[in-house]
């Protein structure tokens, strides 16, 4: 849940007057995006999303994020397009914060994942990977394998408050991940956070990808691995091989997925599980007990990690 910066009417009117998007009819804070304040801004022309960037996003990264979505949208990837102000800028200032207006995407994120969601996701993710190829900027993945040990260190052994033995188990896994992490797979722009709440559908059709604030330059197959974890496990913890197959088949319709990428998938999926397990663990340990935000369960990702540790190869995912 975002902290909402209050915007005065006068500031908002003056800000919006800098764009050719009509008169403001309404502006409501919305419960979308954890890192920023997001508002649904309705003018007499169209709805838009107004984002004020709060401290958790590094202002130096904003040209990358805004430039990337502008580039991807121009290539036909359904994502929010920054609106240029009349002075040509996409990143301006409102209520003392960096601010941008982006186009509004219809659709809703799926609460219960069906097979067709996974197929549509696979296709859109591959389109994103292909469309990012000629984007000029790069951004290091600040949450890749090098970051995990410092993150676990920062938990100061308190993982055992969540589950006895957890800290040792994670350090042992880190040893494997650091030793075996691949570095030569095809890479480019990845979304790195394509969870269901960042993917909109209208009916059975994918209508938008949002929240590019973890996007970075990394191996494409790692994005696929993140989605295997986020989309292909059922609520009871079971892996659904049909969903994985649907996702990867649709991906391959758009972009080749090499044998080397396929063979690396179990390890990448372990790494992807580790990354979300660690941020959830750290956030959970550092969230006040009575806060209104319920920390996400790190143990959901421990189950996924253990599942991938046990597989013999990508065939176990129903993939070939």
Contact between 285 and its own copies per CB under 8 A: no
Contact between 202 and its own copies per CB under 8 A: yes
CB of 63 to its own copies, least distance (A): 27
| Integer Cα distance of 191 and 217 in angstroms | 9
86 or 106, CB closer to its own copies? 106
CB of 27 to its own copies, least distance (A): 6
Coil, strand, or helix at residue 206?
A: strand
Contact between 96 and its own copies per CB under 8 A: no
Cα torsion 116, 122, 124, 125 to 10°: value is 150
- Retrieve residue 38's tokens: 């997001």
Contact between 30 and its own copies per CB under 8 A: yes
Letters for 218-257 (x = contact with its own copies by CB under 8 A, - = none) are ----------------------------------------
**Do residues 274 and 305 touch, judged by C-beta distance below 8 A?**
yes
Contact between 14 and its own copies per CB under 8 A: no
Q: Is 75 exposed, middle or buried (0-12, 13-18, 19+ CB in 10 A)?
A: middle
CB of 288 to its own copies, least distance (A): 3
- Retrieve residue 278's tokens: 């660690």
271 or 284, CB closer to its own copies? 284
86 or 286, CB closer to its own copies? 286
Contact between 46 and its own copies per CB under 8 A: no
How many other β-carbons are positioned within 10 Å of the β-carbon of residue 210?
24
Beta carbons within 8 Å of 256's beta carbon, 6+ residues apart: none
The binder of its own copies chosen from 14, 17, 25, 137 (CB under 8 A): 25
**Do residues 85 and 93 touch, judged by C-beta distance below 8 A?**
no
The binder of its own copies chosen from 136, 290, 312, 320 (CB under 8 A): 290
6 or 236, CB closer to its own copies? 6
Nearest CA to 105 out of 209, 179, 2, 228 is that of 209
**Do residues 229 and 82 touch, judged by C-beta distance below 8 A?**
no
Which residue's entry shows tokens 């030569």?
184
Contacts 24+ apart (CB under 8 A), 286-294: 292/1, 293/1
CB of 23 to its own copies, least distance (A): 9
CB of 152 to its own copies, least distance (A): 24
Please report, as ranges, the residues that interact with its own copies according to CB under 8 A. 1, 3-4, 6-10, 12, 24-32, 40, 42, 47, 104-108, 110-112, 201-202, 288-293
């Amino acid at each position: 849940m975002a902290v909402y910066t209050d915007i005065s009417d006068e500031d908002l009117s003056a800000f919006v007057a800098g764009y050719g998007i009509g008169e403001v009819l309404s502006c409501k804070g919305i419960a979308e995006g954890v890192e920023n304040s997001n508002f649904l801004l309705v003018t007499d022309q169209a709805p838009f999303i107004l984002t004020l960037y709060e401290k958790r996003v590094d202002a130096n990264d904003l040209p990358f994020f805004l430039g990337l979505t502008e580039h991807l949208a121009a290539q036909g990837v359904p994502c929010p397009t920054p609106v240029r102000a009349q002075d040509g800028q996409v990143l301006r200032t409102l209520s003392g914060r960096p601010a941008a207006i982006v186009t509004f995407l219809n659709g809703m994120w799926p609460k219960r994942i069906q097979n067709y969601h996974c197929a549509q996701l696979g296709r859109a993710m591959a389109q994103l990977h292909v469309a990012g190829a000629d984007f000029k900027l790069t951004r290091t993945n600040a949450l890749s394998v090098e970051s995990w040990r410092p993150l676990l260190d920062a938990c100061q052994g308190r993982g055992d408050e969540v589950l006895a033995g957890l800290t040792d188990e994670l350090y042992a896994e880190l040893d494997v991940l650091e030793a075996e992490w691949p570095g030569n797979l095809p890479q480019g722009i990845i979304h790195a956070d394509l969870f269901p709440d960042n993917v909109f559908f209208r009916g059975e059709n994918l209508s938008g990808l949002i929240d590019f604030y973890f996007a970075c330059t990394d191996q494409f197959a790692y994005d696929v691995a993140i989605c295997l974890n986020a989309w292909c496990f059922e609520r009871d913890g079971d892996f659904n091989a049909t969903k994985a197959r649907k996702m990867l088949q649709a991906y391959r319709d758009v972009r080749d997925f090499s044998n080397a990428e396929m063979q690396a998938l179990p390890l990448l999926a372990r790494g992807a599980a580790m990354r979300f397990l660690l941020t959830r663990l750290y956030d959970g340990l550092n969230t006040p007990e009575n806060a209104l935000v319920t920390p996400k369960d790190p143990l959901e990702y421990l189950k996924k990690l253990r599942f991938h540790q046990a597989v013999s190869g990508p065939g176990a995912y129903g993939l070939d």
